[in-house]
Amino acid sequence: MDDYLFDETKVDKHLFRTNDYFEQNQLSKYNIKFVQGTVKNVTSEGYDLGGTVEFESSESEAGIEKCQFDYLVIATGAQYGTPIKDGNRTKANRSQELKCWSSRIADASEVVVVGGGAVGVEFSAGIAYKNRQNKNKERTQKVHLVTRSNHLLERLPPKASQYALDALTKLNVTIHFNKDAEELRSELPDALFLPAATYIDTSFLDRKVFGDSIASNGGIKVNRYMQVENFGRIFALGDCSVTPLNEEKGVVSVAQIGNTVWHNLENSCENRSLVSLPTRIETVQGVTLGRNDGLFVVNYQLVMTGRVIPKFKDKTGEMFGNLQHELAHDKQSAVVLPVLGWISAFCGFCPISSRYRETALIKKGVLMRKDESSITERIDPKKD
């Protein structure tokens, strides 16, 4: 088994049942009901009115159920094709599926990674790096990457894009720019295609109601208050949202934008003025290029490269995994340092204001901050 593409020893750290966390932390005490299922339809009665969510629960045979809402936050994320993500939501099924795909990739004579973003670049680099370490010189595997764009990592600085291109070239990855995967499929009929590009599925939004609020890529258009355009009581957050800032999506940006959603939900309920998005979102993005190379981008400007990047990213990923594992297995409390704080602590080079280095305490499912003023002072509603 190719332990670089799939390491069974890390399954328990990175795969766990979401229900374990919610059940162990007894969210019902806080009048929170957790339902795992699939949203089928969302409707709204008007700009300043609530609406209805229709869903199919994975734990009930009742069929389509309905839930009325006064306020709604949509955070459905983005989707990938198999094997990056798929519909197998159980831990056992997902683990088995990853094993199967690891074997299929190892056995293929030619693989094509579809997508030139961070996931596609990391995926193709990982496979190519493993091939270079292969001691069986008689067996050679060709690795391709295909993208519709004319460069890699198009939402990162040109230096990052060029560094990734040079690294993949050194790993003998053949890159096809300005090309659709279907075009290449006819040229390489025997190749194993691995989709790594994201797509946003908002088919659950009634187009008769939300048609003007959906962007060309399927994302949900929001205003500077994170309200869905034309709907004052519906907010959207994360990969599924299209904000006026058009920021790179990630844990760091979602944490900052999430503060805006949180405060505006509270302010809406209390009939107070809403707060606007920050004028700039602090961002960090790490991309590994095999086990011994990578790049790290801070705020779209500072680009760092070299051998330390994959090691650092692996360590922070392991820390996230350990934390998730603890929270999902009846740990009553855990201290979480946000990603920016970790970067500062470990590397000492993060040139980002310390106001984002708060310590958050997660205890029994409730998020509390030691200094709430450090969030609200970022935005002055009177200037908005």
Distance CA 263, CA 275 (A): 7
Q: Is residue 279 situated within a structural domain?
A: no
pLDDT (tens, 9 = 90+) of the chain, 384 residues, equals 345 466 666 666 555 555 555 555 566 677 777 777 889 999 999 999 999 999 988 777 778 889 999 999 999 988 877 666 665 556 667 777 778 888 888 889 999 999 999 989 999 999 999 888 876 666 689 999 999 999 999 888 899 999 999 999 999 999 999 999 999 999 999 999 998 878 899 999 989 999 999 999 899 999 999 999 999 999 999 999 999 988 877 777 888 888 899 999 999 999 999 999 988 887 778 898 988 899 988 887 778 887 777 766 666 555 544 544 454 444 433 333 344 333 333 333 333 332 322 323 233 333 333 333 333 223 333 333
Q: Residue 132 corresponds to which amino acid? A: R
242 contacts 220 by C-beta, under 8 angstroms:
yes
Considering its fold, how many domains does the chain have in total? 2
Q: Is residue 339 situated within a structural domain?
A: no
Distance CA 374, CA 384 (A): 18
The residue range of the domain holding 206 is 31-76+200-269
pLDDT at 8: 64
CATH code where residue 147 lies: 3.50.50.60
pLDDT at 296: 86
pLDDT at 28: 66
pLDDT at 338: 40
Query: Is 187 found in the same domain as 113?
Result: yes
Which residues, other chains included, contact 334 with Cβ-Cβ below 8 Å and sequence gap of 6+? 323, 326, 327, 362
Query: Is 191 found in the same domain as 116?
Result: yes
pLDDT at 20: 58
pLDDT at 341: 38
pLDDT at 199: 85
Q: Are strands 64-69 and 51-57 parallel, antiparallel or unpaired?
A: antiparallel
Which residues, other chains included, contact 250 with Cβ-Cβ below 8 Å and sequence gap of 6+? 283, 284, 285
pLDDT at 16: 53
pLDDT at 72: 96
What one-character DSSP code corresponds to residue 79? B
Query: Is 257 found in the same domain as 223?
Result: yes
164 contacts 208 by C-beta, under 8 angstroms:
no
Q: Is residue 10 situated within a structural domain?
A: no
Q: Is residue 331 situated within a structural domain?
A: no
Does the pTM of the predicted model rise above 0.75? no
